[in-house]
Amino acid sequence: MSSSGQTRAVEIRNASDIDFIFPDGFSFFEPYLQYFVKETLGAGGQAYVSRNSEGTISGIFIYDYSEKTGTIYTRSRRVFDYFYELRPSDFLFAEMKTEHESEIYDIYHVNLRSIAVDHRFSHEISIAEEADSDEIGQFMASTHPGINRRWVNVAFDAGERCFFVRLGKEIAGLGWLSIVNNIGRLHSLHVKPQFRRMGIGEDILFARLLWLTSKRARSAFSEISRENSPSSRIAMKGHMTASGQIFQYFGKDSDGKTHRKS
């Protein structure tokens, strides 16, 4: 157990060890927090929960040692500051806006029960199986430098789906999908540069939305950097609209040096 003023932070050893009950308005990601904690622990990371003096959860912090990245979930500046300094990091995500240097990610959202998902596909879409995990892992490592390679197997074990387009003998692009509490999360979309402007990203988006609709999901969301205009345009074609924000903070190493975007 660690403490800072009135902040108490306890390491979570197992996602089932605590009740994920939060005060109203705690986080946009509330339905996913237990899932995120379990996934982080499965990939060899750490998770912490902080509580106020009344025992109510005031913050959740997940941290990946391999990637030196983490996410802070809190509405308390005191808790944010505590977790911000807890581990050396290349970058951290949080819904709270502070004076620290950051990049804005818009949270795109769609109510799947209020739209008709219709799309004419230009490419064949495949859904990866566990037998594809090595190839998918190689793709992720090449397009997301520094990624924790354990994450791919953890994601498959958790039931995540990876949708991809193959052109010739290589994967041209892929995107991941999870579904928790009837809410879909679309993430990690990437199309190789030589295959862009061919509609692959749009095909992968609509394939995931159609899959979610078939599973009777009520909504879906995706976090997209404001600097990533191609992905934002693709999301809007899928009737997704920006409904919130999360900030990527450039973290500090053990010497206190800030990692700035190059």
Could you tell me if 177 and 215 lie in one domain?
A: yes
Range of the domain at 33: 2-96
Using DSSP, state whether 218 is helix, strand or coil: coil
Task: Give the end of a domain, one of 65, 96, 127.
Answer: 96
Same domain, 123 and 84: no
Domain identity same for 241 and 113: yes
| 118 plus 239 within the same structural domain | yes
pLDDT at 53: 86
Length, in residues, of the chain: 262
Q: Within a domain: residue 22?
A: yes
Q: Flag whether 134 is in a domain.
A: yes
Mark whether 145 and 40 lie in a shared domain. Answer: no
Half-sphere exposure for 71 (CA within 13 Å, toward CB): 12
Residue 4 pLDDT: 47
- Listed in sequence order, the residues at least 6 apart from 2 whose beta carbon sits closer than 8 Å to its beta carbon are 8, 9, 10, 48, 86
Instruction: Mark whether 122 and 65 lie in a shared domain.
Output: no
Q: How confident is the model at residue 6 (pLDDT cuts 50, 70, 90)?
A: low
Q: Is the Cβ–Cβ distance between 130 and 138 less than 8 Å?
A: no
Question: pTM (2 decimals)?
Answer: 0.92
Q: Residue 252: which pLDDT band, with cuts at 50, 70 and 90?
A: low
Is residue 219 exposed (0-12), middle (13-18) or buried (19+ Cβ within 10 Å)? Answer: middle
Indicate if 145 and 223 belong to the same structural domain: yes
Residue 244's closest CA among 93, 34, 115? 93
Query: Is residue 260 included in any domain, yes or no?
Result: no
- What average pLDDT does range 214-228 have in this prediction? 98
Mean pLDDT, range 210-220, rounded to an integer: 98
Q: Are residues 79 and 114 in the same domain?
A: no
pLDDT average, residue stretch 7-12: 88
Which of 30, 64, 96 corresponds to the end of one domain?
Answer: 96
Q: Output the domain CATH number for residue 189.
A: 3.40.630.30
Give residue 54's pLDDT band: very low, low, confident or very high (50, 70, 90): confident
| pLDDT of 253 higher than 80 | no
Q: Same domain, yes or no, for 75 and 41?
A: yes
113 and 239 part of one domain: yes
pLDDT average, residue stretch 22-31: 97
159-209 residue pLDDT tens: 999 999 999 999 999 999 999 999 999 999 999 999 999 999 999 999 999
**pLDDT of the residue at 174:** 99
Average pLDDT on 87-116 reads 97
Please report whether residue 74 resides in a domain. yes
Of 96, 117, 139, the residue at which a domain comes to its end is: 96
The model's pLDDT over 137-163, given as tens digits with 9 standing for 90+, comes to 999 999 999 999 999 999 999 999 999
- Is residue 103, in this structure, part of any structural domain at all? no
First to last CA, the chain: 36
Q: What is the pLDDT of residue 1?
A: 43
Does any domain span residue 255? no
* pLDDT mean across residues, the chain: 93
Mean pLDDT to the nearest integer, 217-236:
98
- Establish if 131 belongs to a structural domain: yes
> In the chain, what percentage of residues exceed pLDDT 70?
94
Query: Domain total for the chain?
Result: 2
Task: Answer for the pair 252, 88: CB distance below 8 angstroms, yes or no.
Answer: yes
Question: Is 144 within the bounds of a domain?
Answer: yes
> What is the band of 262 on the pLDDT scale with cuts at 50, 70, 90?
very low
